Structure 1
Amino acid sequence: MFVITADQIGSRTAPDRSAPMQAALQHDHGRALALPVDQTAGDELQALTDDPATALDLILDLARDGHWSIGLGIGGIRSPLPDAVRKATGPAFIAARDAVDAAKRADGRFALRVEAPRADGDAPERRRAGHVEALVRMFLLMRSRRSDAGWEVAGLVADGASQKQAAKVLGISDAAVSQRLKSAMWSVDEQVRPALVALLGELDEQTAATGDGVDGGDGPPR
């Protein structure tokens, strides 16, 4: 399972952004979540899913907003699931807590941690998680350099519009759309997303195969 824990940056001096972000994430990704997006301590948000694509999309949406330190934890969850994310427990939640704490000091404000069967930092699962973390972080940093114009046209194309249709909506030429997509590195985005989803899925499978699991119920859902 994937646990995303997000903590608002500069919450003591900025408006509370938790409620609108919670609603947006639930609206966009609710069908793929194990439980509704939850607000836990203060301005902190948590989400739980077994789908690596949804986990990545949640991370990308939070990073795009620009106001969150984002931790991703991968591991077992105590079963049966409660009725709210804030009541759930298990190694994935511990990993997510460690991850969000690390994210506050990291480039891209993102970190990834996994449940590992051994305490040493050189466990294969942790080494692999470090590799995936670096790739996700690089992807987030690349996207952070995208201009508002680039986000606008990329959003239209991501929603299924052709370049010609996007040009009509934006009132610009086909060539201008093409240039904006190039500047936004949209082709790289399209290639990197499925690769990261596959890596996250493999990491989840590896963690499930080697993790010790948790007590209670019939074992941790994966």
Structure 2
Amino acid sequence: MIVITIDQRASRRRPDLVDDLVARLNERYAPLRRFERTAGDELQGVLDDGVAAVELALDVAGTGEWSVGIGVGSVKRPLPEQTRAGSGEAFELAREAVERAKHSPASLAVAGPGSEAKRLEAELQLVAEVNLRRTQASEEAGRLIASGLSQREAGERLGITQQAVSGRLASGLWHQSRGLAAQAAGAMAAYSEATDGDS
């Protein structure tokens, strides 16, 4: 099972963004137990889909406004309807991970049994760092490609040449970061399944 704990960065100097993020995550990612505010500027949800968990974590970390902790492991069953009432290894590990994420340049950390968590953390931190450093122009081109457009069609939409689109994708390491994220998502799914169980 996967528990994700998210904490708003510099919340004392910014408006409270928790409720808006809770609504967005629950609508977009269909968690097993819905994201909800757990305390102050923190929220938490439970997922059983490793691919969705990786996509969500990179999405949230990519805003630069949140610290994201992913805990992978067993949970106490039956799971209560409310996320904040849950307990077990994955919940404890998510708490550990989000505390480390607060001191990570990528604002993302993974905790779980064995060495797989460290490898996944390194991969996701690398992708998150690349995403954060990508220029707006490169990100815009990449999102058009991700939506299914060809480079020629993306160029027409942006008013630039196909070669310019290719250059923006290359400078933003778009294909490489997407490939690594996809590999990490598959590994997260297998890791979650292997570590899931009653606690």
Q: TM-score if structure 1 supplies the norm length?
A: 0.84
What CA distance in whole angstroms lies between the structure 1 residues aligned with 2:44 and 2:178?
27
| Cα distance change, pair 169–27 in 1 and its aligned pair in 2 (3 A) | farther
1:130 aligned to 2:118? yes
Match of 2:36 among 35, 38, 42: 38
Q: Is the 8 A contact 2:55 2:185 kept in 1?
A: no
What CA distance in whole angstroms lies between the structure 1 residues aligned with 2:184 and 2:8?
24
Amino acid at match of 1:49: L
What CA distance in whole angstroms lies between the structure 2 residues aligned with 1:193 and 1:58?
11
- What is residue 122 of structure 1 aligned with on the other side? none
Unaligned runs of 5+ in 2: none
- Aligned-pair CA distance for 1:172: 1.8
- Aligned-pair CA distance for 1:34: 0.3
1:61 aligned to 2:59? yes
Q: TM-score if structure 2 supplies the norm length?
A: 0.93
SS in 1 for 2:180: helix
What CA distance in whole angstroms lies between the structure 2 residues aligned with 1:29 and 1:162?
26
What CA distance in whole angstroms lies between the structure 1 residues aligned with 2:81 and 2:27?
18
- Aligned-pair CA distance for 1:55: 0.6
Match of 2:83 among 85, 90, 104: 85
Amino acid at match of 2:10: G
Report 1:142-181 matches (<5 A).
142-181=130-169
What CA distance in whole angstroms lies between the structure 2 residues aligned with 1:24 and 1:166?
27
SS in 2 for 1:12: helix
1:139 aligned to 2:137? no
Amino acid at match of 1:161: L
- What is residue 121 of structure 1 aligned with on the other side? none
Q: Is the 8 A contact 2:130 2:177 kept in 1?
A: no
1:15 aligned to 2:15? yes
- What is residue 217 of structure 1 aligned with on the other side? none
SS in 1 for 2:46: strand
Aligned residues: 199
- What is residue 27 of structure 1 aligned with on the other side? 27
- What is residue 5 of structure 1 aligned with on the other side? 5
What CA distance in whole angstroms lies between the structure 2 residues aligned with 1:74 and 1:112?
8
**CA offset digits 1:110-151 (Å, max 9, x no partner):** 11111x4xxxxxxxx1x2321221121112112211011111
Match of 2:187 among 182, 193, 199: 199
What CA distance in whole angstroms lies between the structure 2 residues aligned with 1:45 and 1:160?
33
Amino acid at match of 2:126: M
SS in 1 for 2:69: strand
**CA offset digits 1:65-101 (Å, max 9, x no partner):** 1111110000112222222212222210011001101
Deviating beyond 3 angstroms after TM superposition, the runs of 4 or more aligned structure 1 residues are: none
- What is residue 218 of structure 1 aligned with on the other side? none
- Aligned-pair CA distance for 1:103: 1.0
1:98 aligned to 2:99? no
What CA distance in whole angstroms lies between the structure 2 residues aligned with 1:204 and 1:65?
25
1:112 aligned to 2:110? yes
